[in-house]
Chain A
Amino acid sequence: MARLPWWMGGILMAGLLLMTFSVFGADRPIGASTYVPYFADIIFDLDPEKYSYLKHIENPGAWEGVMLLGALVGGFITSVFITKSFRFSLVPSGWKKYKNDSVLSRLLWSFFAGFIMIIGARLAGGCTSGHFMSGMSQMAISSMIFGTVVMIALIITGKLFYNTKDK
């Protein structure tokens, strides 16, 4: 089987979330956006004493930073040995089909989207992992608000940004 079905993925992800939440595991939720400003502050050499946000994210940033290194290893292993999808590429097939063939266009839009994605996630206090998966699993009202706004913005943008008519 070169790909896990969605229901198997959902069950496994639920198991991982419960293990991470439990006191026998990490006693915390899974999150995946705090590591980005954390790494940015390391790379751009910002002083933790000078910036309050840096102090604020010190612990979750480090935790997610280590988890992210694991995710890179996990994704690399399965892409090489199981799904055989490891390859260097610049433009996704779906982008070519529904947007354009330009490498420059894809890279510029990626950079721009990556930039506002992190600003958005940090403003809301979480991302797909921290809010949608971990937050909604705790039935948090904040995460339900976030999930609803993201879904609406996602689908409107998908409609306006891509050329999906007669394809």
Chain B
Amino acid sequence: MDITVKTQGTDLISRLAQMFENVIHQGHGSLALVFLIGIIFGGIIQYTRVDKFEKIAGFAMLKDTIVPKMLFLAVGLTSIGLYFMIEAGYAHYHIKPIIWQGLLVGGALFGISMAIFGKCPGTGPVSIAEGRIDVLVGAIGGLFGGLVFTLYYDDFFKPLMGESLGKLTLPSFFPGHEHVVALIFGVAVTLIAIVIPKIELFDEADLSQLPDDQRPDK
């Protein structure tokens, strides 16, 4: 039996249906796989508690280092595996271009807002899923940000981002030594993750829900 979904309209439901249809046809994994990647992504972030205000704003205040430790470890391990996967043809590069103005202005705005919000676009939805209303309000702010960006992209934001200087990677600066550079980078970033001292800012409101023997602060 064929199931027909009306995906031509411009109303909300049709456009959401178009989103699923797009993912089915764009060739970046099946719809189920993309959804599963999301479930695992949300699960890892929630289970490690790095979506918490105390972890992200806590890092901004230098009172918690779980976020940088986990980020650097993930980057270090992935960079080694990914480099050799790409060499073997099992993955491809998806490098973002060097656009100086966009990176400097965008990075500064992003860092400022991350410190105030205590969330980022990946951890925010996870916090909403565990009932944080203030983050939902921030997400609505984000939707307006996305709207403004779309509306004024051609006239304002695109010129502000500046010219692309290409998609460079670190190993490309060391021709002939790419393998060594990739290994050194991966090991160095992993070591950074281990060397950063572990400091934690706990949230009693969460910990009080747990049995005594499961509290990470004990």
Nearest B residue to A17 by beta-carbon distance? B78
Chain B positions within 8 Å of A155 at CB level? 60, 62, 115
Q: How distant is the Cα of A95 from the Cα of B50 in the complex, in angstroms?
A: 16
In the assembled complex, the CB of A17 is this many whole angstroms from the nearest CB of chain B, namely 5
Q: Is the CB of A146 within 8 A of B74?
A: no
Q: Is the CB of B75 within 8 A of A140?
A: no
In the assembled complex, the CB of B80 is this many whole angstroms from the nearest CB of chain A, namely 9
Chain B positions within 8 Å of A100 at CB level? none
Asked if B154 lies at the interface with its beta carbon under 8 angstroms from chain A, I say: yes
B residues with CB within 8 A of A: 10, 12, 15-16, 18-20, 22-23, 26-29, 31, 33-54, 57-63, 66, 69-75, 77-79, 81-83, 85, 89-100, 102-118, 120-135, 137-151, 153-154, 157, 160-161, 167-171, 181-182, 185, 189, 193, 198, 201, 203-206, 209-210, 214-216
Chain A positions within 8 Å of B72 at CB level? 10
Given A3-B47, A10-B73, A116-B112: A89 and B95 within 8 A (CB)?
A: no
Chain A positions within 8 Å of B206 at CB level? 83-85
Q: Is the CB of A124 within 8 A of B35?
A: no
Chain A positions within 8 Å of B97 at CB level? 125, 142
Nearest A residue to B131 by beta-carbon distance? A88
Q: Could you give 29 example pairs across A and B, Cβ below 8 Å?
A: A2-B215, A3-B49, A10-B77, A27-B27, A41-B147, A42-B12, A45-B12, A53-B150, A53-B154, A59-B26, A63-B22, A71-B126, A74-B129, A83-B210, A92-B57, A93-B203, A112-B116, A113-B112, A113-B117, A115-B144, A119-B157, A120-B110, A122-B146, A128-B122, A132-B71, A149-B107, A150-B111, A153-B108, A153-B112
Given A54-B150, A118-B142, A120-B105: A70 and B61 within 8 A (CB)?
A: no
Band of interface residues on A: 35 or more
In the assembled complex, the CB of A60 is this many whole angstroms from the nearest CB of chain B, namely 9
Q: Is the CB of A161 within 8 A of B115?
A: yes
Q: Is the CB of B142 within 8 A of A13?
A: no
Nearest A residue to B154 by beta-carbon distance? A52
Among candidates B16, B83, B96, B123, residue contacting A126 with C-beta atoms closer than 8 Å: B96
Q: Is the CB of A74 within 8 A of B26?
A: no
Most buried by B among A30, A111, A143: A111
Chain A positions within 8 Å of B69 at CB level? 6-7, 10
In the assembled complex, the CB of B172 is this many whole angstroms from the nearest CB of chain A, namely 9
Q: Is the CB of A9 within 8 A of B70?
A: yes
Q: How distant is the Cα of A132 from the Cα of B103 in the complex, in angstroms?
A: 12
Q: Is the CB of B96 within 8 A of A145?
A: no
Q: Is the CB of B48 within 8 A of A65?
A: no
